[in-house]
Amino acid sequence: MKVQSELRYRCIVFDLDGTLLDTRPAMLAAINAQLAKLSRPPVAAAQLEHATHQGLPAMWLRALDETGRLPPPEQIAATQAELRQRYLRAAAQGVMPFPGALALLDALRERGVWMAICSNQNQDSVVQLLDLFDLRRYFREVVGGDTFVERKPDPMALRWLMLCARSAPETTLMVGDSALDGECAERAGAEVVLMGHGYGGPKLASRFAMLPGFAELHRQLFGAPPC
């Protein structure tokens, strides 16, 4: 992504986990507490790395697979519902916005940029997290992994958001932290930038534009760091 003398993006779509909010510690704590209830050993973040961007249900399935045999489907469904509530309780203490997130959102809102969330977490969980941190007011639409029949990297949700914003692909920017976000934007024809503070890892930098954090993105968009 090149430095813009004037902000040309009509629509900016943000991922949530690993992009706006540092949610992985709370998710991991909730998963390990749920595993302990099932008399299973804890897991480390590295064991769930490939499932992290698919949402909490995918992380839970991976954790179960890492710690023993998979339970019957009905038991998995019951434990997923309990895990989700456990995670949302933990989020109040264990989740934080990444540095510079609020300053960037304020600057974009002041300029009238149409903003949305596109996450692979369940939509209800996304909305509850946004409400918890008073972030819902910034976004015109919120899409979760269960909003449509397909989730990222499928571009369906991003294309729908562009229609809502009346934005062409060349005036749309996807801000994420993983290859799923990058591939989703590519398939929709939108631009993309990934946040190095997230969970995607430095290997993504060779394929997708990557910035270390929101202060640098602020500078790229507006030509100056936030005050």
| Element containing residue 143 per DSSP (H, E) | strand 141-143
Of 15, 17, 22, 181, catalytic: 15
Residue closest to 29 by CA, chosen among 87, 112, 72: 87
Q: What secondary structure does DSSP assign to 151-192, as a single string?
A: -TTSSHHHHHHHHHHT--GGGEEEEESSHHHHHHHHHHT-EE
What radius of gyration, in Å, describes the C-alpha atoms of the chain? 18
As to burial, measured by CB atoms within 10 angstroms (0-12 exposed, 13-18 middle, 19+ buried), residue 63 is buried
Q: Which two tokens stand for residue 34?
A: 């749920």
181 is catalytic: no
Q: Which residues are catalytic?
A: 15
